[in-house]
Amino acid sequence: MRNPLHHLASFFRPERKSLAAPDAGLLALFGAATPTAAGVSVGPGSALSVPAVSCAVRAISEAVATLDVKVVRSAGGTATEVPEHPVAVLLKDRVNDWTPAAEFIRDLVAAALVSDQGGLAWVNRVGGRPVEVIAYDAARLTAQRHEDGTGAYRYTLNGREEPAANVIHLRSSFGRSPVSLARESIGLSVVLERHAAKLFSSDARPAGLVSFKDRLQPQAIMNAATAFVTMLESGKTKGTAFLDGGAEYHQLVLSSVDSQFIELTAFQILQIARAFRVPPQMLYDLSRATWSNGEQMGREFLTYTLEPWLRALEGALRLALFSPEEYPTHRVHFERDDLTRADLGERATAYSTLISSRVISANEAREWEGLPPYEGGDAFANPNTGSNQAGAAAPQVDGGRPADGGA
């Protein structure tokens, strides 16, 4: 449970910031963020309004949150899971009274993807043991690089400085989030969507125009316009329009820029995919996906997108959740098997081959699938030959001795 004295004291130590040297938080608060070349400001909120960005953030953060988490202790070259460790209990169940562990991990990774400050959470300890983890609002829990140039961070919670050992800090590469690094591409995507909304909304552009050789009075123009619109709305879609007074009708067509709108939008999706290092198919851009490369791009998502974030997350959790005595031997591990395992048909073929060649036993294969063992399943036998069936005599070698070396 939380320490009430800590929270009470923190509210009486307000943080003071100068408007003469505003940080990113103050700039965002007053809407003073520098606009992109496209003329729009891009921040975490506006970036997530772009479907490609929100899809990339969800693809990474939700995939990480679905993995099983373990606490592993290494001793003598052997790694052993420690399910009863307090850190394992927090990360498997709930990190506090109102936040499930999967939701906490998802939001921590998502914050690092959209914010330069990264994903931050405070660790509450009782008697030196972590009892809960709280992901405070970005305005209350802040991180700022130390002035000594070491790369260390100074953390502030509700205006009071917190030791680094009490803060989980997940940072992106270069100290900047993908949203910040790709703000120009995201800004252009925002402008393209606004353009599409205006282009296809009612009265965004006229279907055509009527020109007159002679100058007309305003009332004459209104009368001609009324007559023309009445003819078009009469329901006779194949009728012929008659114009007098030297009038000429010109149908408006899309310009070359408008006609390439789909190509421009598709290119921006690729740019955003590059910024997040996500295969385009993960953003549901299937224009380049085929049966042959779809599986390969899925493997690249695991190797080049998720794995770096998983390593960084494991390191951030290890730094903040284990005591100095536990740190050399304990670590947090996310189980990757659920993401790397093949489909059922491919697994069945592989198991059958390994069992037939006596590399593994049937019970070992069942254990990998989460199934209980059965009697006799520990034998290394080929089920495809009669001599290896249950109850069959052991195969003989020269001299009449059993092949397994028995009496």
Judge contact between 287 and 270, C-beta under 8 A. no
Q: Work out the widest C-alpha separation in the chain, in whole angstroms.
A: 120
Taking residues 209-215, report their average pLDDT. 71
E-strand ranges in 163-246 read: 167-170, 208-212
Instruction: Find the mean pLDDT for residues 146-160.
Output: 89
350: confidence class by pLDDT, cuts 50, 70, 90: confident
pLDDT of residue 289: 64
Q: How many CB atoms lie within 10 A of CB 386?
A: 8
> How many Cβ atoms are within 10 Å of 28's Cβ, its own excluded?
18
Write down the pLDDT at residue 204: 53
Please state the rounded mean pLDDT for residues 295-313: 86
Rounded distance between C-alpha atoms, residue 216 and residue 245, angstroms: 9
Q: Provide the 8-state DSSP code for 402.
A: B
CA atoms within a 13 Å half-sphere pointing along the CA-CB vector of 267? 8
> At residue 40, what is the residue type?
V
Q: Residue 299 — pLDDT band, cuts 50, 70, 90? A: confident
Q: How would DSSP label each residue in 65-80? A: HTS-EEEEEEETTEEE
Q: 41: which 2 tokens?
A: 């400001």
| pLDDT of 216 strictly over 80 | no
Q: Which amino acid is at 267?
A: F
Instruction: Check if the beta carbon of residue 138 is closer than 8 Å to that of residue 203.
Output: no
Cα 54 from Cα 51, distance rounded (Å): 5
* pLDDT for res 12: 42
Share of the chain above pLDDT 90, in %: 39
User: How many residues make up the chain in this entry?
Assistant: 407
Residue type, 239: G
Q: How many CA atoms lie within 13 A of 248 on its CB side?
A: 6
Nearest Cα neighbor of 10 from 122, 171, 178, 153 is 122
Separation CA 320–CA 168 (nearest Å): 5
DSSP class per residue in 345-360: HHHHHHHHHHHHTTSS
Three-class secondary structure assignment of 206-225? CCEEEEECCCCCHHHHHHHH
Mean pLDDT of the chain: 80
Q: DSSP string of 283-325?
A: GT--TT--HHHHHHHHHHIIIIIIHHHHHHHHHHHHHHHS-TT
Report the candidate in 108, 132, 130, 141 with the shortest Cα–Cα distance to residue 25. 141
Task: Determine the pLDDT at residue 264.
Answer: 80
276-287, pLDDT tens digit by residue?
999 888 888 877
pLDDT score of 151: 85
Q: How far apart are CA 261 and CA 245, in angstroms?
A: 38
Rounded mean pLDDT, 193-211: 68
Tell me how far apart the alpha carbons of residues 373 and 389 are, in angstroms, rounded to a whole number.
Answer: 17
Q: Using CA atoms, how far apart are residues 321 and 323, in angstroms rounded to an integer?
A: 7
Judged against a pLDDT cut of 70, whether residue 245 lies above it is answered with no
Q: What is the mean pLDDT of residues 130-150?
A: 91
pLDDT value at 191 more than 80: yes
Q: Which of 61-70, 252-261, 390-399 has the highest mean pLDDT?
A: 61-70
- End-to-end Cα, the chain, rounded Å: 64
